[in-house]
Structure 1
Amino acid sequence: MGQFIFIPIIFFSLIILISAFFIVKQQTAVIIERFGKFQSIRHSGLQMKIPLVDRVAGRLSLKIQQLDVIIETKTLDDVFVRLKVSVQYKVIRDKVYDAFYKLDYPHDQITSYVFDVVRAEVPKMKLDDVFVRKDDIAIAVKSELNDAMITYGYDIIKTLVTDIDPDGQVKEAMNRINASEREKIAAQFEGDAQRILIVERAKAEAESKRLQGQGIADQRREIARGLEESVEVLNKVGINSQEASALIVVTQHYDTLQSIGQETNSNLILLPNSPQAGSQMLNDMVASFTASNQIGEAMKNSSKKKEN
């Protein structure tokens, strides 16, 4: 009978002995209470407590945690906008007692401060300034949270404004404005390219005309030099200048006829081919030169009379 009583006692003693030991994970703090009163804080490793006297009141993680808070507020230019603020925080190792006993719901406390700061800062800004100065908003939130949460044993590591979402109609209007600006810039570039193309084409055409004119001038200069040499040769054999000119004109006339006749794809052209044609052309040229000289002399005499 005694043996049957002894076995439960041993079993109960083993349970009590085993319950005296507990393990605390890395980056975790365990709060031990004795008869409902704070006793100690235990950190990572194998720990021991008095069975039936001490108890584990709670565990706090010492890792960095993140809380995402979404706030809807209005800007200075009356645009409703939703902001997402990410708060990174952790329990201060030396203030585990304050974090456990002074504050029951840290998430709610942090959310309240974030709402308060954002709704105080954003209404002072226009929508464009909210995008540009989102870092200023994050800094203001972090400063306010640090001052408030340090008392409760929490350290605010960093705050970030991770999303800014204006009203749907406002976003559509902003997209249309951006599209219009880009189309305007594209049109300006296309206009500049077209203008450059026209200018370069005009320069190329002008250069072509200049070179063409220079070629014609050189060609006429060479023709004149050749005619001069031909007249000099004919003068040496006793042919005067007028006869030489007539001979050259007739020769050029027949050379032209021969050249036209050799072209198989040329159109039909009717030209005088009698010997008198060259003489007539020469007489017409001489008459034209004479008339031009007379007109020039008359203009000079008229200018001299006006000066006198």
Structure 2
Amino acid sequence: MGQALGCIQVDQSTVAITETFGKFDEVLEPACHCLPWNFGKQSAGLLSLRVQQLDVKCETKTKDNVFVNVVASIQYRALAEKAQDAFYKLSNTRAQIQSYVFDVIRASVPKLELDVVFEQKNDIAKAVEEELEKAMSHYGFEIVQILIVDIEPDERVKRAMNEINAAARMRVAANEKAEAEKILQIKRAEGDGELNQF
């Protein structure tokens, strides 16, 4: 419902922020509420308490000078008990979270070599989560979970890695083949030796 009759409906998992003559007044829980607009009371807006997800793609350089795109998935939500802070303190929550994620990833990944980045993606996610939790709690938000969902090296690096892996597999296959032929020759020689004894 609108405010034409001075009533608003606040849905589940949402809170409404009210102001009286432009000053914060109270946080309204889910229900139907009457706001005496003729006394200057009005709804400033709604704040969702649902878990929201933000995917952040950050390009950075590893210790061994490889450019990688790190994709982090951040799940966060506004806290009902800090709804005033969540509504008034930040104008763009997503941009603020993105800035912190960029900062932590660009501080962590350059210390690691490419192979180690893949192995320590959980440690990177934990570092991002700790930093974000510390920063965003002041603004009325809780960080639910952070996942590093993708680490993608530059296309040329990917091709080179695939070629290295293919060469290593071919080397192993050649060694196995040589070992098999060696065993075959030994068995032939043993067989010929047994024939000569008869």
Q: Does 1:48 align with 2:37?
A: no
- Shift, 1:202, TM fit: 4.2
The answer on 1:197 being equivalent to 2:184 is: yes
Partner Cα distance (1:164, 1:150) in 2: 28
Residues in 2 aligned to 1:75 and 1:64: alpha-carbon distance in whole angstroms:
32
Instruction: Report what 1:177 is aligned to.
Output: 164
Report the residue type matching 1:26 in the other structure: Q
Q: Which residue of 1 aligns with 2:8?
A: 22
Report the equivalent of 1:235: none
1:109 to 96, 103, 106: 96
Gaps in structure 1 of 5+ consecutive residues? 1-14, 214-308
Could you tell me how far apart the structure 2 residues matched to 1:72 and 1:134 are?
A: 15
Between the aligned partners of 1:189 and 1:29, the Cα distance in structure 2 is 67
Q: Could you tell me which residue of structure 1 aligns to residue 108 of structure 2? A: 121
Percentage identity across paired residues of the two chains: 45
SS of the residue 2:71 aligns to: strand
Shift of 1:129: 1.3
Matched residue, 1:166: 153
5 Å-filtered alignment, 1:228-267, equals none
1:42, 1:208 → 2: CA distance?
99
Give distance in 2, aligned partners of 1:27 and 1:82.
34
Counterpart residue type for residue 87 of structure 1:
I
Separation in structure 1 between the aligned mates of residue 30 and residue 107 of structure 2, nearest angstrom: 42
What amino acid sits opposite 1:159 in the alignment? Answer: I
**2:147 is the alignment partner of 1:153:** no
Partner secondary structure for residue 136 of structure 2: helix
Structure 2 Cα separation of the partners of residues 185 and 45 of structure 1: 69
Cα distance in 1 for partners of 2:170, 2:78 equals 53
> Corresponding residue for 2:56?
69
- Ranges in structure 2 where 5+ consecutive residues have no aligned partner: none
Q: From the two aligned structures, give the one with the greater helix fraction.
A: 1
Whichever residue aligns with residue 23 of structure 2, its letter is K
CA distance in 2, matches of 1:24, 1:194: 79
Q: Distance in 2 between matches of 1:74 and 1:166?
A: 9
Return the offset for 1:196. 3.2
For residue 139 of structure 1, what is the aligned residue in structure 2?
126
Match of 1:264 in 2: none
User: Which is richer in strand?
Assistant: 2
User: Structure 1: which amino acid aligns with 2:85?
Assistant: D
Secondary structure class of the residue paired with 2:104:
helix
Partner of 1:32: 18
**Tell me, what secondary structure is at the counterpart of 1:39?**
strand
- For 1:94, the equivalent position in structure 2 comes to 81
Distance, in Å, in 2 between the alignment partners of 1:71 and 1:206 is 68
Paired with 2:185 and 2:12, the residues of 1 have a C-alpha distance of: 75
Paired residue type of 1:127 = L
Mapped partners of 1:208, 1:23: distance in 2: 99
Separation (CA, whole Å) in 1 of partners of 2:167 and 2:184: 26
- Greater relative CO, 1 or 2 (CA 8 Å, sep 6+): 2
**TM-score, length of structure 2 as denominator length:** 0.89
2:91 partner SS: coil
Q: Is 1:84 the counterpart of 2:71 in the alignment?
A: yes
The CA distance in 2 between the partners of 1:113 and 1:133, in whole Å, is 19
Distance in 2 separating the partners of 1:207 and 1:56? 100
